[in-house]
Amino acid sequence: MRTILTVVSGLTLSNLFMTFAWYGHLRNMKSYHWFIAALVSWGIALFEYLIQVPTNRIGSHNLSVGQLKIMQEIITLSVFVPFSILYLKEPFKLNYLWAGMCMMGAVYFMFK
């Protein structure tokens, strides 16, 4: 159980960095050239990888690669939806709910 909590915590933190790296520039850097945004995003993504790689290594001792990937996808959706609503000011869409329900089905089958 401790490994799973460590993996969920690590993947959540790495996802916060990833989400900012991939989408944060859409709010704050629209007036900059794309390559400036890419360099800033790469800098942010470095922190994501510094957390994500060891987290996946820790998780691989007790979980399969498929289980790690499905956990990552669920966490990605769980981080992205609030980020898009609160930070990017996107409206909530029912598609988020339907996608989440499909992902929960994937979790069920992957961990079954």
**Residue 22 and residue 33: Cα distance in Å, rounded?**
15
Q: Which residues span the domain enclosing 95?
A: 2-111
Listed residue (42, 35, 53, 34) closest to 18, CA to CA: 42
pLDDT score for 96: 85
* Total domains present in the chain: 1
Q: Which residue has the tokens 């996946």?
A: 56
Q: What is the mean pLDDT of the chain?
A: 91
Contact 3, 61 (CB under 8 A): yes
**Residue 79 and residue 16: Cα distance in Å, rounded?**
7
Where the chain has pLDDT below 50, the residues are none
Q: Which residue has the tokens 């498929």?
A: 66
pLDDT score for 109: 86
| Half-sphere exposure of residue 93: CA atoms within 13 angstroms, side-chain side | 10
